[in-house]
Amino acid sequence: MDKVRKEFPVTRKGIYANTAVYGPLYDSLIDWRQEHDLDFLLHGSGMRKKSLQILSDTRKTVGQFFNCKREDVALINNFSTGLNVLLEGLHPKKKILLLENDYPSVNWSFENRDFDISYVKTSATVEEKIEKAIGAQHIDVLALSLVQWLDGFLIDLAFVKKLKTTYPNLIIMADGTQFCGTRQFNFADSGIDVLGASAYKWLLAGYGNGFMLFSDRVKELFSLSTIGFNAANGDFDKKDAIRFAKQFEPGHLSCLNFGSLKFSMEFMQRIGMDKISQYNQLLSEKAKQQFNSLGLLEDRIVERKAHSTIFNIKVDTRVFNHLLENNVSCAQRGDGVRLSFHFYNTENEIDAIVKILKTAL
């Protein structure tokens, strides 16, 4: 990964352990974006045909990246907007199961509507609690983040797939913003009905782009009223023949933003998502072992077999400031400090963070 790391200037300023806040831009993406804008500068409306092709190709690339049919891919500006559009089409009396303290844009979107909501507290045995609640309460919809934003808690994907087999009528909706781009993922084989994500974090695509993926049955269970000329591809005759995913695209989309998403996915595919997955797992195991040796992790994280590359360590503002003073980019979240690692980070950087922490603890 050393060659790839050179693409990211931010890594030369210190230790960038903050992808959970924002995935840094990189040299080859900036080159593409500058060339794109230069084309607009020189050709104006002559770029229209190329712009539409970029958007079409982005849907195809997203579908290939996650193994989802192209026609079931919606391009959205961000996850929060996409989820709110979707929930307007869900019957208000559905019984919903959420996780306590999940990302606000997930939970608030349900809580702000007339749903019957229950909660499960995140713990080392959260999957067992979820399954028990679904069976006992006859839950219609399970909605959660695959990776929890506060501490990187990773939901067992094998459990999600098994849950769908046990409860085939259950609608499973997932926020993948802190997950997508960290490892290989097969949507068609996941058991998930809706996967949405903003792509400015682990997919390294900058602000203003994201996607939603849909299973076949979702189209039968949601009734959307969102519409616009772009959803019909600018064709008056297609007003009454708009496919489900296009209802999330009522207006014009930025070919710069979504072209950036396409470029970044292809960039990661060239590296190899299998290699990225393996490397991130190595970073995760290394960080978990090191932070646990300092007694900085919650028991529910330590007791789990698998974890993401996001960690919330139990330190105060003084230690947070000490990390910043030593050029470690990180964030305060909840009662601790959140550190997050991606494929441009190194094992040596984790060792360096541990050494810095030891001088402050």
CATH label of the domain that carries residue 235: 3.40.640.10
**Residue 171 structure tokens:** 């609608």
Instruction: Supply the mean pLDDT for the chain.
Output: 96
Distance (Å, whole) CA 75 – CA 178: 18
Question: What is the extent of the structural domain holding 96?
Answer: 33-270
- What is the per-residue pLDDT for 163? 98
pLDDT band at 2 (very low <50, low <70, confident <90, very high): confident
pLDDT tens for each residue of 3-37? 899 999 999 999 999 999 999 999 999 999 999 99
CB 170 within 8 A of CB 139: yes
- What is the per-residue pLDDT for 47? 87
The two most distant CA atoms of the chain are separated, in Å, by 68
Q: State mean pLDDT over 131-153.
A: 97
Q: Which among 270, 294, 310 is the end of a domain?
A: 270
Other C-beta atoms lying within 10 Å of the C-beta of residue 12: 9
The reply to whether 180 and 320 lie within a common domain is no
Q: State mean pLDDT over 331-335.
A: 96
**Whole-model pTM over 0.85:** yes
Q: Is 316 helix (H, G, I), strand (E, B) or coil?
A: coil
The reply to whether 51 and 180 lie within a common domain is yes
**pLDDT of 288 higher than 90:** yes
- What is the per-residue pLDDT for 283? 98
The reply to whether 165 and 313 lie within a common domain is no
- What is the per-residue pLDDT for 211? 98
- What is the per-residue pLDDT for 1? 80
- What is the per-residue pLDDT for 250? 96
**pLDDT of 77 higher than 90:** yes
- What is the per-residue pLDDT for 3? 86
pLDDT tens for each residue of 295-319? 999 999 999 999 999 999 999 999 9
Query: Within 13 Å, how many C-alpha atoms sit on residue 344's CB side?
Result: 25
**pLDDT of 98 higher than 90:** yes
Query: What Cα–Cα distance (Å) separates residue 106 from each residue in 268, 340, 351, 356?
Result: 27, 21, 34, 35
Q: State mean pLDDT over 126-150.
A: 97
pLDDT tens for each residue of 60-71? 999 999 999 999
Sole residue written with tokens 């996915």: 265
The reply to whether 130 and 173 lie within a common domain is yes
The reply to whether 103 and 207 lie within a common domain is yes
The reply to whether 152 and 298 lie within a common domain is no
pLDDT band at 287 (very low <50, low <70, confident <90, very high): very high
The reply to whether 246 and 300 lie within a common domain is no
pLDDT tens for each residue of 206-250? 999 999 999 999 988 999 999 999 999 888 989 988 999 999 999
Q: Which among 270, 295, 324 is the end of a domain?
A: 270
Q: State mean pLDDT over 343-352.
A: 98
- What are the two backbone dihedrals, phi and then psi, of residue 62, each rounded to the nearest 5 degrees? -60, -45
The reply to whether 236 and 156 lie within a common domain is yes
pLDDT band at 359 (very low <50, low <70, confident <90, very high): very high
CATH label of the domain that carries residue 307: 3.90.1150.10
- What is the per-residue pLDDT for 239? 92
Number of domains in the chain: 2
